[in-house]
Structure 1
Amino acid sequence: MINRILVGIDGSKYSKIAEDYGIWLSKKLKKPVVGVHIIDIRLLEGPFIEDLAGALGFTIYSDLTPKVKEFFEERADILLKEFAQKCREKGADCTIAKAFGLVAKELTEMADPEDLIIVGKRGQHPQFEFLLGSTAEAVARKSKCPVLITTDKFSEIKNILLAFDGREKSIHAAQYINSFAKDLGIESIDVITVSDDKVIDTFCKEGQPVEDAVKDILKNYLTDIEFNIHILKGYPEEEIENYIKENQDKYDLAVLGAFGESRIKELILGSTTSYIMQKSPIPLLLVK
């Protein structure tokens, strides 16, 4: 199911945890892991260099750019070397790659649809996330393959929660997790569905209980694992957030279909995926 595992490496605390997940999954699934460091070209552009020159007391900064570029290249080499060493020590099949560009664009273009990308929830340069948006979210939006977004703590994946609403992206997530869980040796997962008018309109026959309708659909996709269904009532974003937070010690991974609404609807109504990405205290696997 997974050909390669690509891990975004930037030296941050979250990135180190992403490395741990990449190595663990590489060994568990017997798939190669690729450590990728993208040198963000925004750090080599005029405003950043000008601010850096000012902070260092320079009045002329035109010849500072090559020095900054050299610094980031050396730093990238160190980070990738450390990752390769960690892989060797833990017995994972590892390669490394380095590139210049916009992080989300370069990382997603390296990946094939059959790959898995792993990135930390927060990056090394939070000031850019504040101004330009989260790199993790940008990767999840642009990626052709599933994206695992890690938190600041590693835990072996043994207990999985699937958020299911019956729509296309959610069905893709169920199909994916069926194989993913089986490959990890997991025999059963939990499923949550938030019952509201949209859910009922999506897949319930007239008068049919939501739990029965969900079970009827999922038995076609979760064919290799058992599943337990929990029905919640309320607004999907709030109920999913609350359920994950209340049960964060129970689950090692939450799985969602990524960005099911159009961008226009998201601008008006907001995105459930984006909301849960920001709020979840446990890793998220986002499936297109």
Structure 2
Amino acid sequence: MTEQVMAAIDGSQFSEAVCDSAAWASQALGVPLTFLHVNDNHTAPEEQDLSGNLSLGAREHLMEELSRLDEERARVAQEQGRLMLQAAKERALEDGVAEAATRQRNGTLVETLEELQNEIRLLVLGKRGEGVDQASEHLGSNLERVIRTLHRPILMVPPAFQRPEKVMIAFDGSRTTRKGVEMLARSPLFEGVTVHVVIVGADLADNRSHLDWALETLRGAGHQAEGAIRPGEVEGTLHTYQEEQAIDMLVMGAYGHSRIRHLLVGSTTTDMLRRTRIPLLLLR
């Protein structure tokens, strides 16, 4: 089964950035691109029960009418999904992708992606879906569930795409984050990109040794790499470094160890994802 970049789109303001990011990733990785739209049957508006005081004939008629409306809603949702997928495909072709596939499924996004994950090399998602208040800082609940369910790299994108030139990876020397550095080093996704390795902690011999290993691994693979050890609280320190260095993509292990682990398995996960204004690649 061929692995591919899979881009989940909906009617949110993030869909264009998802399309552009997925097109870039597909071309950089040299793998096929598929756009996915999921019609979530669980989000249909609840119908008020108006049948309690009706005669049998009227109640049957009402139930038939409600059933007809449900079918009509499903048909409209299917057509909307088809049009979104067609628009996404056309945008990808304009971005230089040779060919893009489309898939439309019924169900929930999380269950659908879990079923398809063996086909996924990289999943591209928007920060929030169409059902979330776009003016708020709220993070889409689907994104959190997908991160905790899938065992594939996930690229979360903001509303506008920008080809990354400076990437930062949060590193703590653990086995998981070392795998992340090795994955980044060999990935064609980051060819020609400057990589910043940041350890949040004290400037001690162990951390210095970890940082030296990461920089040697990246430079040995042909990357321009820079490193830093910064004291402080993880989330705030990473955001500060990102702003100072004009980092345009953040790479993290979804489940690391030590303080990085606590960052991405506790409530701070949501804060980190919510506050970032740049793409965030989560490695599993």
Q: TM-score range by the shorter chain?
A: 0.7 to 0.9
Structure 1 equivalent of residue 282 of structure 2:
286
Q: Tell me the distance in 2 between the aligned counterparts of 1:174 and 1:273.
A: 20
Query: What is the count of residue pairs matched by the alignment?
Result: 262
How far apart, CA to CA, are the structure 1 residues paired with 2:119 and 2:172? 23
Between the aligned residues of both structures, percent identity stands at 24
Question: CA contact under 8 A between 2:169 and 2:251: conserved in structure 1?
Answer: yes
Looking at structure 2, the residues matched to 130 and 24 of structure 1 have their Cα atoms a distance apart, in angstroms, of: 27
Asked if the contact 1:160/1:254 (under 8 Å) is kept, the reply is yes
One-letter code aligned to 1:211: R
2:271 maps to 1:275: yes
Deviation of 1:152 after TM superposition, in Å, equals 1.1
Verify: 1:143 aligned to 2:141, yes or no. no
* Match status 1:79 vs 2:75: no
3-state SS of 1:255 partner: strand
Pick closer, same or farther for the CA change 1:271–1:173 going to 2, 3 Å. Answer: farther
Deviation at 1:261, TM superposition (A): 6.1
Contact 1:7/1:36, CA 8 A, preserved across alignment: yes
Residue 235 of structure 1 is aligned with which of 233, 236, 248? 233
Q: Does 1:219 align with 2:216?
A: yes
2:36 & 2:110 partners in 1: Cα distance? 11
Distance in 2, Cα, partners of 1:165 & 1:272: 17
| Aligned-partner Cα distance in 1 for 2:32–2:121 | 10
For structure 2, the 5+ residue unaligned runs are 51-61
Residue aligned with 1:13, SS:
coil
Note the C-alpha offset of 1:167: 2.0
Q: CA deviation at 1:30?
A: 2.6
Q: Is the 8 A contact 2:25 2:189 kept in 1?
A: no
Shift of 1:285: 0.3
Change (3 A) 1:78 1:282: same
- Report the equivalent of 2:35: 35
Q: Is 2:99 the partner of 1:101?
A: no
The answer for the alignment partner of 2:250 in structure 1 is: 254
C-alpha separation between the residues in 2 aligned to 1:216 and 1:131? 37
Q: Map 1:1-288 to 2 at 5 A.
A: 3-44=3-44, 48-50=45-47, 62-63=66-67, 64-92=69-97, 93-112=99-118, 115-126=121-132, 134-180=141-187, 182-186=188-192, 188-196=194-202, 208=205, 210-216=207-213, 219-220=216-217, 223-224=220-221, 225-247=223-245, 250-260=246-256, 270-288=266-284
The 3 A distance-change label for structure 1 pair 130 and 27 is: closer
The residue number in structure 2 matching 1:204 is none
Q: TM-score, normalised by structure 1?
A: 0.79
Q: Secondary structure at the match of 1:111?
A: helix
When Rg is computed on C-alpha atoms for both structures, the one with the higher figure is 2
Using a 3 Å threshold, how does the CA distance of structure 1 residues 277 and 183 change in structure 2: closer, same or farther?
closer
User: Cα gap change, 1:131/1:11 in structure 2, threshold over 3 Å: closer, same or farther?
Assistant: closer
Letter in 1 for 2:5: I
Matched letter for residue 21 of structure 2: Y
Q: Give distance in 1, aligned partners of 2:108 and 2:175.
A: 30
Structure 1: distance between partners of 2:189 and 2:124 = 18
What is the identity, as a one-letter code, of the residue corresponding to 2:149?
K
Cα deviation, 1:4-41, whole Å, max 9, x if unaligned, reads 10000102111210111111222233321100001112
Which amino acid in the other structure matches residue 102 of structure 1? Answer: T
CA deviation string 1:86-124 (max 9, x = no partner): 223333121000111111221232122761000000111
Question: Counterpart amino acid of 2:24?
Answer: W
Measured at CA, do residues 171 and 271 of structure 1 come closer, stay the same or move farther in structure 2, by a change above 3 Å? farther
For structure 1, the 5+ residue unaligned runs are: 54-58, 201-206
Distance change >3 Å, CA 168–CA 81, structure 1 → 2: same
**SS of 2:163 mapped into structure 1:** coil
Q: 1 CA distance for matches of 2:101 and 2:140?
A: 29
**CA distance in structure 1 between the partners assigned to 2:233 and 2:139 by the alignment:** 28
Shift of 1:185: 2.3
